[in-house]
Amino acid sequence: MRPLEGITVIDFTTLLPGPLATLMLAEAGARVIKVERPGGEDMRFYPPAVGGVSAHFAALNRGKEGFVLDLEDAGSRAALMELAARADVIVEQFRPGVIDRLGFGYEAVKVVNPGIVFCSISGYGQTGPKAMKAGHDLNYQAETGILALSHGPTEAPVLPATLTADIGGGSMPAVINILLALLKRNASGEGTRIDIAMTDAMFAFAPFPMSEGNATGHFPKNGQGYLTGALPRYGLYPTADGRIAAIAALEPKFWQRFCELIQLPAELRNDIADPPATRAAVSAAIRARTAEEWIPLFAEADCCANIARTLEEAMADPDFIERGLFARKVLLPNGDTMPAAAVPIVPELREDDGEAKPFPAI
């Protein structure tokens, strides 16, 4: 039995944050009913298409049920409210106030279901002067100071590689708080309104810069933090063939192993004394060999150094494959299958029988 067997989730969400959160709940055993407008949500039509459907939509909505809601149809609205009266969790991602105007807000549902766990995901939260402000992941990272910690050269800034605000600020906190609210309900019988603001959670990604600034009065700027560019022992260095070596030899034992490996001169091993000189020497050493030459040397030294892989290379790693990260499949309308989105739910707590599951049809 999976831990959320018997839990019913009504999912009003679209695009990424909410659908990934409800996918995690589904993988842990919940029955997830995805509510869409006639014709379906926008993500259904995002390229690339596979088997005639959006690969992104299929990957995020494996194993969910569908419910098409026409707001002009009184019968559909009544059926949805009946379902809400029996549900355990509702997750929505509209702008603040929209779901209330639709008639399915927390106060309306609480009348028929006092134990409902009602989770709202938005950029800036349900209250405050920024509540109605439009934004996406990049805006949320920019708004909270995360982007300014490490965006590369000002004349050629680098976009973040991951959707940290959407996933780390939206999906993950939503799941955590929904599970906590269900535990609370088990003890008290009371439901909860959960207000997830993606910007709120961004500050949890900066504990060290925040504590440094609070303690010293100096908040690190672009590239000034120990983990964002100030330390030569923690950085990215190009190899002879244009690949990238990721060096994270933070602890003294790893740094010494790395210094021995590249034969760094003794006077440069205190990388706080003259960071530019040490960084230049490390860079020259790494550039002297190709990635294929460095791979076995890094492995033998075991010094927290490796070569940055492409996503395709990483997904072909036998270790990740053996751990079942890509074993869950989505069944496409044409009968083909594709991997579902990877979720951080361990096999012991999710279904992993190899069955390919469909996504909601419309």
Q: Are the CB atoms for 47 and 54 separated by under 8 Å?
A: yes
**Annotated catalytic residue: which of 11, 88, 137, 166?**
166
- Tokens for 296, please give them: 């076995």
Which of 100, 136, 200, 274 is labelled catalytic?
136
Location of structure tokens 């022992």: 233
- Tokens 């009065």 map to which residue? 217
d(CA 50, CA 137): 26
CA distances from 341 to 308, 318, 344, 346 (A): 22, 18, 10, 14
Taking the C-alpha atoms of residue 162 and residue 140, their distance in angstroms, rounded to an integer, is 13
Up-side HSE of residue 160: CA atoms within 13 Å toward CB? 18
Concerning whether 195 is annotated as a catalytic residue, the answer is no
Q: Is 166 a catalytic residue?
A: yes
Q: Contacts from 84-88 at CB under 8 Å and sequence distance 24+? A: 84/10, 84/109, 84/112, 84/113, 84/116, 85/109, 85/112, 85/113, 86/8, 86/113, 87/8, 87/9, 87/10, 87/33, 87/113, 87/116, 88/7, 88/8, 88/9, 88/30, 88/115, 88/116, 88/117, 88/182
What is the set of active-site residues?
Answer: 136, 166
